[in-house]
Amino acid sequence: MDIHKIVIPTPYVIGDVNAFLVKGEALSLFDAGPKTGEAYEALKWGIKAAGYDMSDIEQVVLTHHHPDHAGWVDAFPNVNILGHEYVDHWMRKTPEFINYRDEFYRHHLKLQAVPEIYIDRMVQARDEIELFGTIPLTHYIEDGVEVPGHPGFKAIYTPGHAQSHLIFHDKKTNTVIGGDILLQNVASNPLVEPPVNLSFERTKSLIQYQNSQLILKDLHVNMVYTGHGDNITNASELITMRLERDHMRAKHVYQLLDSPKTVFEIAQLLYPAIFKSQLGLTLSKAIGYLDLLEREGLVMAEQVEEVYIYSRA
């Protein structure tokens, strides 16, 4: 299997995103960068550097729905677009889904004791949505299914960082196109997102993400082609280190619970320098560590009116 890496700039703190051109029985592009002019030029140049034109692409396969990965599906209007079915909600962006998304976040941010002024800012921030693609999926990829045109290249459902997240494992080479499941220099964020079934139940994203990392670890892969940064050849070692770091941070959260606190209060204490500018991230991290502690029976949550209060068990 021939894999060509394309580095694409993004407007995000994470920096460049990687797309991968894969030649098998079909010519497939895995991920497509954010929908900006600069990203489009980098994508076009990268495909040309591999010896192809944009018109040669036969299908686009998405690791997940985040806009730095799923924007420029719009550059390929006449090819198959494949991904987890959850991606389709973000491509179509129907008024019903956007309203549901807003209400989901408003509901859970209130439970986390986030002040209304912050809730309004977070819910009404729509700039990121403009960087998503707009072409609906033509095919859904399910867990365990081979990617069309790539025999032996199997999708594995790995939620946590995103509810739509898939990795793609090539059995012959024992390598993985990993999206954001594992990055070399930073840990991916276990973002709280509306669940796949579009209910109002909050998924425990950090627990999901840890389970997904263990799935990757059990594959004992030779290489992870990552969504950002360099390829990874020591995945098992890196996953062990990341899980241990989560454990240590959860212990720190336990120490902060010398008196009952809300998620918002924990986020402020954990990330005093950035919690205002990156509130969604810091809340997701804080509630993730609380989920770990609650699973271990070390903390408990009590709903008082419209707010969850966490305390030591």
Handedness of CA 191, 81, 2, 217 (dihedral sign): positive
Over residues 137-192, the pLDDT tens digits come to: 999 999 999 999 999 999 999 999 999 999 999 999 999 999 999 999 999 999 99
Are 181 and 165 in contact by the 8 Å Cβ rule? The answer is: yes
* pLDDT at res. 2: 87
Specify the fold of 2-93+128-244: Metallo-beta-lactamase; Chain A (3.60.15)
* pLDDT at res. 75: 95
Instruction: Enumerate residue ranges in the chain where pLDDT < 70.
Output: 125-127
Over residues 15-24, the pLDDT tens digits come to: 999 999 999 9
Distances (CA, A) of 301 to 5, 261, 269, 288: 45, 10, 18, 13
For residue 160, count CB atoms less than 10 angstroms from its CB and return exposed for 0-12, middle for 13-18, buried for 19 or more: buried
Task: Give CA–CA dist 275/15, Å, rounded.
Answer: 20
Handedness of CA 283, 213, 257, 103 (dihedral sign): positive
* pLDDT at res. 13: 86
Q: Residue 195 is which amino acid?
A: P
* pLDDT at res. 126: 64
* pLDDT at res. 49: 96
With residue 61 as reference, give the H or E element that holds it.
strand 59-61
Q: Could you tell me which of 86, 136, 85, 126 has the C-alpha nearest to residue 102?
A: 126
| 3-state SS, one letter per residue, for 197-226 | CCCCCCCCHHHHHHHHHHHHHHHCCCEEEE
Q: Could you tell me which of 23, 44, 24, 49 has the C-alpha nearest to residue 32?
A: 44
Task: Give CA–CA dist 31/82, Å, rounded.
Answer: 10
* pLDDT at res. 249: 96
Tabulate helix, strand, coil % of the chain (nearest 5): 40, 20, 40
* pLDDT at res. 125: 66
* pLDDT at res. 132: 87
Task: Give CA–CA dist 304/301, Å, rounded.
Answer: 9
Cβ-based neighbours of 78, under 8 Å, separated by 6 or more: none
* pLDDT at res. 248: 97
Q: Is 69 helix (H, G, I), strand (E, B) or coil?
A: helix
For residue 195, count CB atoms less than 10 angstroms from its CB and return exposed for 0-12, middle for 13-18, buried for 19 or more: middle
Are 264 and 117 in contact by the 8 Å Cβ rule? The answer is: no
* pLDDT at res. 277: 85
Q: Residue 30 is which amino acid?
A: F
DSSP 188: P
